[in-house]
Chain A
């Protein structure tokens, strides 16, 4: 029995190492490919990359801005990961972020400004979560009741969410004092999330990290997490085991939307101080990529979000100094994503081969652990 435990843990470590290596290699390949692209476009990639790196991780200020950019990405990625655990692709985190921002703004503008900050902020956060969950309830219900593809519905709702925000800031919520700007009036001081002194890092970052840790515990250490995994990996088996699959699917998407909505809450409360146009430069899509790079693992998401947040904040500061179009980040993200996807199956095969070799070299105990599909290959 002891031998099996060791083999199991070695296998898990091996798999994790291969995954991490795969993600790193994908990022590297993405950087190289986009570097070649920049050369073709007549730019100096080394100068640009070193610029991005210094303005992302170069000094204390750069690092703090990276963490600021990483916060909404982390919330969105965690949202994506919750849905992915039960096998759903929620690309609607972008819209759920906006729904959360709208919900928080409603509270900040309606409640009296003299409210104690903790009442104001907790109400804003709760309303954001409710709004995000409502927004993700639409694809959830359509998926469960009518088997409509949740990816497409949640994507289409992203466009609707943008229009909802535009409607509000051009219409009923527009700041009456500066009527030419499409934005709401500034929030009262009680609606501003706590910052670390001397930086723009705010409480939202720490909330995101805590949510990541809690999600990790729930997914790996509880019955609910185990069942969610089974549903995601093998829905047929889950049905056979009489799990309430539909309930899990709905709850996962609601939680997913609520977590992503916190990104909207923390952005309007801590960074913008109001609702305005262009609130998110695609945090939801970056979050989707982060969740995939981190293999939907909440702990890995925390680290990966900081890395990709660095790309965002670095490229943002290079917009002015190097006249680098912000679209470069999208190109980089798309390239990394494609490399990651292309490598995924070959990595799985590699992991399988390594395990096979280890199992055949080890004691016969290891053979018993092999999946049935591999058994025939051993014989041949």
Chain B
């Protein structure tokens, strides 16, 4: 994109862009899992977000509307997953996989008509003054508005989880749902809200993929980024700040791989393409070695359905 930039600055700027969709999904899943619901449907949710953003952007030429609709679609999918897991007490892992199979089918079905269609995409905005900072400026502050939004979402989510009344309920419901219920918290309602919120953020990540990253619809555009996000939540120990680190590591691997290919690297693009996935598996293993003593960071009630006693 910017041939004038030095190699590593270009890699770093690319890292931010490649990381953004995964970061949004990871932060969303942090919220969901903190309430004790495991949403493995992120891959499908991101696909649905990506396609609905393309469709809305194609017909209305409005990026804002596209993003809003994508998030709404994500929230509806989250509601469905939450309904199956909470109301029908289904296995949460299997439900996520089923959602992804369903949504990859639906998006491929409807997406076929939108492959290669021109859409209204998002342009980069240089933040005045900030983008003039040497080195950091062109990396961090010459990006599109969604990236800036992402800079805000991480601290906001951290604040939401750790310093608000809702966050307190969220953590209580994820740790000790019965105690939370005894304290007057609506366990199910909190879980519904957190699952919808997390899925909406994942869909926003999907919308970023199609509107900014690929600038159009490609079948299976996410290529496993939803699963990557689920893996990164484990690495992040359910903390949005650590999710930021994980997502940027993933972004670095993707961006480096793309830049190396563009620079005519000898290594096969297929081998380079494995890098991000292997990286995520390694960081999951690595964080498990380091964090073995801190096992309490796992929400105790994660993945356990809560049958409310009458």
Contact B270 A146 (CB under 8 A): no
A341 CA / B230 CA spacing, docked (Å): 21
* CB neighbours of A329 from chain B (8 A): 105
A89 CA / B274 CA spacing, docked (Å): 23
Contact A330 B285 (CB under 8 A): no
B231 at the interface (CB under 8 A from A): yes
Report the minimum CB–CB distance from B219 to chain A (whole Å): 8
Name B274's contact: one of A138, A163, A171, A332 (CB within 8 Å). A163
Measured CB to CB, the residues of A under 8 A from B are 41, 89, 91, 138, 142, 146-149, 151-153, 155-160, 163-164, 166-167, 170-171, 285, 288-289, 292, 325, 327-335, 337-338, 341-346
Report the minimum CB–CB distance from B256 to chain A (whole Å): 16
Report the minimum CB–CB distance from B112 to chain A (whole Å): 6
Contact B105 A331 (CB under 8 A): yes
B156 at the interface (CB under 8 A from A): no
Contact A170 B268 (CB under 8 A): yes
A330 CA / B108 CA spacing, docked (Å): 9
Contact B97 A153 (CB under 8 A): no
Contact A146 B234 (CB under 8 A): no
* CB neighbours of A332 from chain B (8 A): 105
* CB neighbours of B289 from chain A (8 A): 146
Residue of chain A at shortest CB distance from B219: A327
Contact B277 A156 (CB under 8 A): yes
Contact A342 B90 (CB under 8 A): yes
Name B281's contact: one of A142, A147, A288, A333 (CB within 8 Å). A142
Contact A342 B288 (CB under 8 A): no
Contact A334 B90 (CB under 8 A): no
Contact A157 B277 (CB under 8 A): yes
Name A334's contact: one of B88, B103, B228 (CB within 8 Å). B103
B93 at the interface (CB under 8 A from A): yes
A288 CA / B97 CA spacing, docked (Å): 9
A152 CA / B277 CA spacing, docked (Å): 11
A151 CA / B284 CA spacing, docked (Å): 12
A335 CA / B95 CA spacing, docked (Å): 11
* CB neighbours of B93 from chain A (8 A): 89, 151
Contact B270 A171 (CB under 8 A): yes
B101 at the interface (CB under 8 A from A): yes
B104 at the interface (CB under 8 A from A): yes
Contact B102 A338 (CB under 8 A): yes
A338 CA / B99 CA spacing, docked (Å): 7
Q: What are 26 pairs between A and B in contact, CB < 8 Å?
A: A89-B94, A138-B281, A148-B285, A148-B288, A153-B281, A156-B227, A156-B228, A157-B277, A157-B281, A160-B274, A167-B268, A288-B97, A330-B101, A330-B105, A331-B105, A331-B106, A333-B105, A334-B98, A334-B102, A334-B104, A337-B97, A341-B84, A341-B95, A344-B90, A344-B91, A345-B90
Contact B288 A146 (CB under 8 A): yes
Measured CB to CB, the residues of B under 8 A from A are 40, 84, 88-91, 93-95, 97-106, 108-110, 112, 223-224, 227-228, 230-231, 234, 268, 270-271, 273-274, 277-278, 280-281, 284-285, 288-289, 292, 305
Contact A41 B277 (CB under 8 A): no
* CB neighbours of A157 from chain B (8 A): 277, 281
Name A346's contact: one of B88, B227, B288 (CB within 8 Å). B88
Contact A327 B108 (CB under 8 A): yes
Ranked 9 nearest A-B pairs via Cβ: A334-B102, A330-B105, A337-B98, A327-B108, A331-B105, A167-B270, A341-B90, A334-B101, A146-B288
Given contacts A89-B94, A166-B270, A170-B268, 15 further A-B contacts (CB under 8 A): A148-B285, A148-B288, A152-B227, A153-B281, A153-B284, A156-B277, A156-B280, A157-B277, A160-B278, A334-B104, A338-B95, A338-B99, A341-B88, A344-B90, A346-B88
A166 CA / B274 CA spacing, docked (Å): 11
Report the minimum CB–CB distance from A326 to chain B (whole Å): 8
Contact B84 A333 (CB under 8 A): no
Contact A327 B109 (CB under 8 A): yes
Contact B102 A148 (CB under 8 A): no
Contact A341 B91 (CB under 8 A): yes
Name B102's contact: one of A89, A138, A167, A331 (CB within 8 Å). A331
A331 CA / B48 CA spacing, docked (Å): 13
A330 CA / B110 CA spacing, docked (Å): 13
Contact A152 B98 (CB under 8 A): no
Given A153-B284, A325-B108, A325-B109, verify A338-B84 contact (CB < 8 Å). yes
Contact B94 A341 (CB under 8 A): yes
Name A337's contact: one of B89, B102, B106, B271 (CB within 8 Å). B102
Report the minimum CB–CB distance from A288 to chain B (whole Å): 7
Residue of chain B at shortest CB distance from A331: B105
Contact B101 A167 (CB under 8 A): no
Name B94's contact: one of A142, A330, A337 (CB within 8 Å). A337
* CB neighbours of B271 from chain A (8 A): 163, 167
Contact B91 A148 (CB under 8 A): no
Contact B284 A148 (CB under 8 A): yes
Contact B105 A334 (CB under 8 A): yes
Report the minimum CB–CB distance from A96 to chain B (whole Å): 15
* CB neighbours of B268 from chain A (8 A): 167, 170-171
Given A148-B284, A334-B102, verify A342-B231 contact (CB < 8 Å). no
* CB neighbours of B274 from chain A (8 A): 160, 163-164
Contact A152 B234 (CB under 8 A): yes
Residue of chain A at shortest CB distance from B84: A342
Of B93, B98, B281, B292, most A-chain CB atoms within 10 Å: B98
* CB neighbours of A344 from chain B (8 A): 88, 90-91
Name B277's contact: one of A147, A160, A328 (CB within 8 Å). A160
